[in-house]
Amino acid sequence: MKSTPSITIDWLKNALPWVHSGCELMSVEVEPDCGGPSLLGRLTRVRLRYTTPGCGASSIIVKFQAQSSDWEAQIYRLLAEAETLSVPRLFGAFEHGTLVMEDLSPARTGSQMDGCTLPQAQDVLSILAEIHGRFWGDPRLPALQPEQFAAAININMEQCWDAFKSRYQEILNDVAADFEWMWHNAGTVSAHRLSEPATLFHGDVHTENLLFSEDGKRRPILIDWQLAGRGLAANDVSFFLVKSLTVKQRQANEERLLQGYFNLLPGRVQTAYGFDRFKLDYRACVTRSMVSAVMLVGPRFVDRPDRLALADALATRVIAAVQDLNPVDAIRELGKDDGS
């Protein structure tokens, strides 16, 4: 299924688990492209009317994948089996990887430009600790191929690095060499990201992939699991804090936030992993944010109206994190440097 015209009453009868005798669909109203810009898929909200009012959900979300793939559905099934609370409920997965999920409105996604507050950051970290802890060492987790991330680094640096370096040369200073080291050691960077101790990581934790309740009384919901897989928990923690807090917020609260997250992991994980090793992985995983920042000035985001303003905000945060955390030295200290 690739387009909204395919959403019919007959199709939805196969997609909705609550449809039963006396709760028949009468009509549907389709609201296409309700989720904003995305490289990996698009969302359609479907409003539902039944012969018996109120017997089923008033609306659902149908997600179309940019490329036909069952990967995200596989991740959602694992999350459902683990009874993970802070993710949308998956009702069904269909051809081309199309997903039918619960509609969590009026909760709204955040803004990458604005980032999040410290209480929101603490809430997100508690969700990540819960998910990471549940899946720590789980053999069922699908493995990503390090070559794929290495290729993504190479492609995006080739396309975007010159423009990024030119636009931000005044604040890059010496850390331009760190970005270039990441590029020329893409295999090393990718291998570290997917190394042990492994858990389920989301891979793209930022405020636009989080749903926040209007009253702020409920924990955020983490959406968009297309990039999830088996690897370091620090992927998510580093990417989220570096991109979602201002430089001053991160610098003033980073140690406390990291310790708070680590303390929420299961005791067996804390004992085996160790906070110092986690911090090294956290620093090394800043490389993921570096790639993300460089990408924003390139052709993949040309249709996003706010891309340069967003690029400026995130470049400031990421470059400061590279200066503060020195991910290249962290990778070397972890023994992942291939010597090149």
**Do 65 and 225 touch, CB atoms closer than 8 A?**
no
Half-sphere exposure of 63 (CA within 13 A, CB side): 30
| 44 belongs to a structural domain | yes
Measured distance CA(51)–CA(171) in Å, rounded: 61
Distance CA 199, CA 70 (A): 20
- Strand ordering across the sheet containing 221-222: 108-109, 210-212, 221-222
Q: For residue 18, give the CATH number of its domain.
A: 3.30.200
Instruction: Say whether both 95 and 113 belong to one domain.
Output: no
Same domain? 54 vs 127: no
Residues 77 and 117 in one domain: no
pLDDT at 10: 82
Q: What is the DSSP string of 210-262?
A: EEE-TTS-S--EE---TT-EEE-THHHHHHHHHHHS-HHHHHHHHHHHHHHHH
Among 158, 169, 138, residue whose Cα is nearest residue 233: 138
268 and 203 within one domain:
yes
Which of 102, 130, 155 represents a domain boundary (last residue)? 102
Is residue 129 in a domain?
yes
- Same domain membership, residue 155 and residue 270: yes
Range of the domain at 140: 108-333
Tell me: do 97 and 151 sit in the same domain: no
Residues 92, 165 within the same domain: no
Look at residue 228 and tell me if it is in a domain.
yes
Q: CATH number, domain at 222?
A: 3.90.1200.10
One pLDDT digit (tens) per residue for the chain, 340 residues: 445 557 888 888 777 765 566 788 888 898 887 766 566 678 889 999 988 888 888 899 999 887 888 999 999 999 998 888 899 999 888 888 889 999 998 899 999 999 999 999 999 999 999 999 999 999 999 999 999 999 999 999 999 999 999 999 999 999 999 999 999 999 999 999 999 999 999 999 999 999 998 877 788 999 999 999 999 999 999 999 999 999 999 999 999 999 999 999 999 999 999 999 999 999 999 999 999 999 999 998 888 889 999 999 999 999 999 999 999 999 999 984 444 4
Q: Which pLDDT value is given to residue 21?
A: 67
Residues 125, 127, 130, 134, Cα dihedral to 10°: -120
Q: How far apart are CA 212 and CA 111, in angstroms?
A: 11
What is the Cα–Cα distance from 130 to 111, expressed in whole angstroms?
24
Distances (CA, A) of 281 to 127, 153, 277: 19, 19, 6
* CB neighbourhood size of 135 (10 A): 20
Distance CA(311)–CA(264), nearest Å, equals 33
Per-residue model confidence (pLDDT) at position 52: 86
Q: Is residue 339 part of a domain?
A: no
| 41 part of a folded domain | yes
pLDDT attached to residue 1 = 40
User: Which of 233, 240, 223, 228 has its CA nearest to residue 203?
Assistant: 228
In terms of DSSP bridges, do strands 99-102 and 59-65 run parallel, antiparallel, or are they unpaired? Answer: antiparallel
pLDDT of residue 337: 43
195-250 pLDDT, tens digit each: 999 999 999 999 999 999 887 778 899 999 999 999 999 999 999 999 999 999 99
